[in-house]
Each structure stands twice: as structure tokens, then as C-alpha cells.
Structure 1
Amino acid sequence: MAKTFEVKICGIKTQEEVTLVNKYPVNYVGLIFAPSKRQITLEKGKELRPLIRKDIKVVGVFVDATYEEIHKVIMECDLDVVQLHGKETNDEILKMPIEVWKSIPIENKNSLLQIKAYPDCDGVLLDTYYKGATGGTGKSFNHQWVKEYGAISQKLILAGGLSPNNVLSVLDNIIPDVLDFNSGLETNLMKDPLKVEKLFVKLVKVSKLYS
């Protein structure tokens, strides 16, 4: 696993939130095109895309969308990565023209065995299993299970309840390739400038340990 990490902020919905994340060393932003409290339309995605800082990669989040639906968003919103939370097969992943992250819902340590079903995805996103939800719940899982599982050949994206308050303890236990933040940076479903600032103050301290 990498000794350095990148940062993704998911669930961006407004121009104000884009302006906020543009101020910080964010590597990825997530636009959610699936049913969710943070869902945006294709038109909103097209509006936000050119406002995002050029060096930030844009991730489109989908749940059981058709290939045609996903491809349309890829092309019209100039996505860099597709993040899939549904029942997609490895063969379907192979069809995608850009980088693919497959979400694996973690309920217990055996949930990690699902990774083997997706050898051709570029990244695996580990998120907490929560009945009736596909992410953004603010719930975390036992990261010790990931350490016990061993090496993961794909890029490892860690999600599930990450916040400025717990990120240091998480990094004491596991250092993924990408830390994925969503609800832990929000107040009333909007990205909170104070929470985002607090996060990066802490991450600057951590990065010095690994530089």
C-alpha cells in the first residue's frame, strides 16, 4: 500500500462547493449521478465541470446505470473516472473507456473477498455496508479487516465515515491510495468551509511524517 495518499471529496453539488474545494490540494471530486441526497443532473454536471480546477480529476458516481447512460455522462461531463456502486460485472467494467473504481460494501471481513470478482477494475473503493444505501452514510467499518486481508493489487480508495475528527486515527491503522470524504465534511448536506479547513490542517501534519 502507498505511503502517501490522495484526497477525494465526493458529493459536490453547487458552484459554491466547487469554489471551496478548488482552494485546497484536492486530487479528485465526486459528482453523484445516482439516486442520493447529493444527486445532480447531467445538466448540473455540465455546469460544474468547467469550474473545477484543471488538475483535479472528476469522478462520476453511478448505481446500476446502463452503459449508454454512463457513456453519455462520461462524454458530456468529461469524466476522468467512473465509480460504480451497483451489480456491475467484470465484463461490464472492461467496456468502460476510462478508469473505473468498483465500490465494495463492507459488512464484515469476508466482504473483502468480493474484490477478487473485479480483477480488471482500476481501483476498489471500500465503503461501509448500510442496508438501503450506497454510500454517504457517515458510517465507518473496522479497518483492521483490510490489514488482515493483505495486499490489494488495484488502487485502494477508502470511504465510509471519514472526517477531520477521525482521519488521523484511520491513517495510524491503514494508508490507502485515496481517502474519500463526503458527509464528514458537511453541515446540513453542504460542504462546510470550517470542516474542510480542519481536514487539510490535519493532513498537512500527516504528510510531513511520510515526506
Structure 2
Amino acid sequence: MKVKICGITDRETALAAVEQGADALGFVFADSKRKVDRDTAKSIIDQLPAKIMKVGVFVNEMKEQIESTAASVGLTHIQLHGEESPAFCNSLSFPVIKALSIEKMEDFKQVNRFDCSFILLDGPKGKYRGGNGTAFDWMMAGQAELSSKKIILAGGLDETNVVSAIEQVHPYMVDVSSGVETNGKKDLAKIKQFIEAVKAVK
């Protein structure tokens, strides 16, 4: 099972997460308390192994801005958290992770509209488009037709519930941000516990 640690803002946290076994790191370029600028993101990404997915998170951003940021900082994937259309997703030159907010069963119908590299299932929208620490009812995912999609599960995950979430949803990857923080800052001990819990799942 693969793990993405999102909302990376400093080199120490990035390298610690990689050392513990993270497969992907997320850098937020949209409005968020975890927002990073290009220079900071590039300085961190330049230190990361090639095999690590470097994901940039954007919300309703212009295509030119996304492509420019991705190229200049060294992203490998684009994560879109707004109202981006399937056509917009397909127009980008980077692999796309399309995030969808899930509240009710009806919301899973959105999944089949997108032909992206990954679909990220997130909890209900809060103040920000992601990283709000709220989960949806994972039981619903078991009833939805998701087998043909590479699913990333996000929203409300932490080391205490991630194993149960994996068993119910069977995602390709799990994504955590606020669930590995203490007082709004990434907590290296929580990152370690979260990754260990995920990697122990058979």
C-alpha cells in the first residue's frame, strides 16, 4: 500500500517522510495554511529521490500557471481540487490526480466522468478544498463501481483509523495531511506511526 504525505512545507519533514517510506509528497500551491511558494517547493524537491512522486495541489488555477509551476519546481503529478472539467484535466501535460469531495452515494457518479491517472476521494469540503481532516463514510466506497480506477483515499485519516479505511475502500494509495499534525504542524512521530500502520497492511 502506498502513502502520500501532503502539505509539505519544509525539507526536514520531506526527508523524514521519505526515510520512513512515503511514496509521494504533496505541495500545496492553492490557498491553504500549508501553501508553499515555488522557491521553497523547488528547494525541497531538488533534495528528493527520483522515485518519489512530487505532487502539486491546485484549485481552479489557469492551465498556464499550473504547467509553469510544475515545470519550474520539478513536479511529477498535478492534483486538482476545484471544479476542473474532464477536458481541462486531459489538457495538461502532467499526469493528473483529480480530487472529488464525497458526502453521499450520489457523489461517486463523478468518478466515471474523469479519465485521469488517479482519482482522489476526499471528505466533504471545509474551509479549504483539502486537508480539513473530515472523512466520508468509507462503507459507501465498497458499494461504488471503482475497480477500474486508481483510487487515492484522503480525508480524516490518521494512524488509528487508516487500516480500517484501507480494508473498506481498497485504495491504491492513502493520503494524509492534518492527521499527521500537532497544532497545525507536521509531527514526525505521527508521520512515522501512520506510514508504519499502512505498510503493515497485507
TM-score by length of 2: 0.95
* Aligned position for 1:186: 181
1:134-149 equivalent positions in 2, closer than 5 A: 134-149=129-144
Identity of aligned residues (%): 32
> How many aligned positions are there?
202
User: How far apart in 1 are the matches of 2:57 and 2:195?
Assistant: 24
Q: Is residue 2:119 matched to residue 1:124?
A: yes
Shift of 1:131: 4.0
Shift of 1:151: 3.0
Counterpart in 2 of 1:77?
73
2:49 — aligned with what? Answer: 53
CA distance in 2, matches of 1:109, 1:29: 29
| CA distance in 1 between partners of 2:56 and 2:147 (Å) | 23
Task: For 2:160, give the aligned amino acid.
Answer: N
Show the counterpart of 1:197: 192
2:148 paired with 1:166: no
Alpha-carbon shift at residue 28 of structure 1 (Å) = 0.5
Name the CA distance, whole Å, in 2 between partners of 1:131 and 1:190.
19
Gapped regions of structure 2 (runs ≥ 5): none
Over residues 94-127 of structure 1, what are the superposed CA-to-partner deviations in whole Å (9 max), with x where a residue is unaligned?
1111110111101111111111221x21111000
CA distance in 2, matches of 1:174, 1:69: 34
Within 1, Cα distance between the matches of 2:146 and 2:166?
Answer: 17
- Partners of 2:7 and 2:28 within 8 A in 1: yes
* Rounded Cα–Cα distance in structure 2 between residues aligned with 1:116 and 1:204: 29
SS in 1 for 2:46: helix
- Asked if 1 retains the 8 angstrom alpha-carbon contact of 2:31 and 2:128, the reply is no
CA RMSD of aligned residues (A): 1.3
* 1:100-119 map, 5 Å: 100-118=96-114
**Superposed displacement of residue 53, structure 1:** 2.7
In the alignment, is the contact (CA less than 8 A) between 2:27 and 2:55 conserved in 1? yes
Which stretch shows the higher mean deviation, 127-136 or 97-106? 127-136
Map of 2:11 onto structure 1 = 15
1:56-80 per-position Cα deviation (integer Å, ceiling 9, x unaligned): 1100000001000000011101211
Please list every run of 5 or more consecutive structure 1 residues that lacks an aligned counterpart in the other structure. Answer: none
Equivalent AA in structure 2 for residue 190 of structure 1? K
Normalized against structure 1, the TM-score is what?
0.91
Q: Provide the C-alpha distance between the structure 2 equivalents of 1:162 and 1:102, rounded to a whole number of angstroms.
A: 19
State how far apart, in whole Å, the 2-side matches of 1:94 and 1:84 are.
12
Could you list the runs of 4 or more consecutive aligned residues of structure 1 that deviate by over 6 angstroms after TM superposition? none
